[in-house]
Amino acid sequence: MIQFLIFAILLLVILFFLFRSKKESSGNWIQFYAKGKEVGFTIKDMEQIRRLVSNCNISDPMLIFKSQKQFEKVVRSMVHAVRLSGESNDPQTQIFLSKLFDYYKRIEMAAAESKTRITTSRQISEGQTLRILVPGTGVFSSEVIKNIGNYLTISRPVNSKLTSAMQWHALKISIYFWREDDAGYVFDTEVIDEVFSKGISSLKVEHNDSLFRTQKRKSMRIKFQKPAFLYMVNDAENPHRLETAAGLRCMLEDISETGCAFRVNGQATSGLRLKVQFSLDKVPMCMPATVRSVDYYQETNMSIVHMEADPLPVITRNRILCEVFNLLEEEEDELPFRVIEEETAGKAPEEAQNIPSKQEEAINV
């Protein structure tokens, strides 16, 4: 009798824990679907995400909304599945993958923002490029020389369009600057004195502990050293069309799904319509864009060109985001460019030499 009683108690305890475990698991999945809908996924999306979560052996499905690493597992699993299945050209697959990237980018940028943002001019780095606005006069260029003590030391602002000397002492100015991988900032201040610092004609300006943060970055951009070809865009045709002839050689410096920067010989100008063609995962990519700014270095006759991309086809955008989030395998061979160069080598010498001429003329205008 006693043995039967003990057995019955053990059975009740086991059933209790089993029932509670199932109830908690069910509750987690209910919260999972509710959270997914809250952040913008559809029920159909959440069914696919649930399967990915199960394949990744994530114990608590809610973790993917709280942890970058856990959501990365889901995205990486999806990218791997697409590569294995050969469904990379399926539109619905690419749309779903794009939704995953949108949320992944959102949580990555939120985490990065909390780490990189600044709140006071005392945190501005030496060498930071500045734009100085003098009301009623114009905009000047400057940079931070020193940032120690009770004031900020900046190089004497210059404006090539103004020939007369400026009197800066006690002048009220506004300072704007863009922090790489962060955002734009602006603050008002007053010039304390005109001095020489590190042998440079400079200004001492008051600190401001209330910076206004503006123009947050819209995408995640990574350093990206890769050779590419450069072409003029013919907007009368499809600007996303892949070129088969070699263009003007350039070197990509960074990339995101909204644009890129590249280094090229010669001097470029803002407003040009150009496109770069490069390889990702042994697949040729094309990014048509508009030149927004150019940093020209006269001593080397070289330009760093910053371009804002046209809206990209979803498959191109997804492949670029795979690179941004480090989800692609290392390339062993720049196959598309090797093939293009071999084809170019087979042309008549005069024809091959003239291929990049239009691009070179555009860069050196």
pTM over 0.75: no
Sorted by where each begins, the domain ranges of the chain are 2-116, 121-210, 222-363
pLDDT at 74 over 90: yes
DSSP run (H or E) holding 2: helix 2-38
Pairwise CA distance, residues 179 & 266, whole Å: 27
Q: Which residue has the higher pLDDT, 114 or 176?
A: 176
Pairwise CA distance, residues 156 & 144, whole Å: 10
pLDDT at 162 over 90: no
Collapsing DSSP to helix, strand or coil, 147 comes out as coil
pLDDT at 21 over 50: no
CB atoms within 10 A of CB 324: 22
96-152 confidence digits (pLDDT tens): 999 999 999 888 877 766 667 788 999 999 999 999 999 888 899 999 999 988 899
Q: Specify the residue for token string 């007053």.
A: 190
Pairwise CA distance, residues 180 & 194, whole Å: 28
pLDDT at 54 over 50: yes
CB atoms within 10 A of CB 361: 12
Q: What is the pLDDT of residue 68?
A: 85
pLDDT at 15 over 60: no
Q: Which residue has the higher pLDDT, 88 or 175?
A: 175
**Bridge partners, residue 68, by sequence:** none
DSSP run (H or E) holding 8: helix 2-38
Pairwise CA distance, residues 317 & 322, whole Å: 9
Average pLDDT taken over every residue of the chain: 81
Q: What is the pLDDT of residue 362?
A: 54
pLDDT at 250 over 80: yes
Of 53-57, 153-157, 331-335, the range with the lowest mean pLDDT is 331-335
191-244 confidence digits (pLDDT tens): 999 988 888 899 999 999 989 887 566 677 888 889 999 999 987 888 999 998
* High-pLDDT (> 90) share of the chain, %: 42
Yes or no: domain 121-210 corresponds to CATH 2.30.110.10: yes
Q: Work out the average pLDDT over 177-186.
A: 81
Q: Are 68 and 108 in contact (CB under 8 A)?
A: yes
According to DSSP, the β-strands at 222-232 and 273-280 are antiparallel
306-354 confidence digits (pLDDT tens): 999 999 999 999 999 999 888 876 554 444 454 444 444 444 333 333 4
Burial of residue 160 (CB within 10 Å: 0-12, 13-18, 19+) is exposed
Q: Which residue has the higher pLDDT, 360 or 191?
A: 191
For every residue of 36-101, DSSP letters joined together read HHHTT--HHHHHHHHHHHHHTT-SSGGGGGT-HHHHHHHHHHHHHHHHHHT-TT-HHHHHHHHHHH
Q: Work out the average pLDDT over 239-253.
A: 91
Q: Which residue has the higher pLDDT, 328 or 74?
A: 74
Q: Which residue has the higher pLDDT, 21 or 363?
A: 363
Strands (E), 147-233: 151-155, 172-178, 184-197, 200-206, 212-214, 222-232
121-210 and 222-363, same CATH topology:
no
Q: Are 204 and 153 in contact (CB under 8 A)?
A: yes
pLDDT band for position 75 (50/70/90)? very high
CATH number for 222-363 (one of 3.40.50.970, 2.60.120.200, 3.90.180.10, 2.40.10.220): it is 2.40.10.220
Q: What is the pLDDT of residue 353?
A: 38
pLDDT band for position 1 (50/70/90)? low
Q: Which residue has the higher pLDDT, 250 or 197?
A: 250
Q: Are 74 and 55 in contact (CB under 8 A)?
A: no
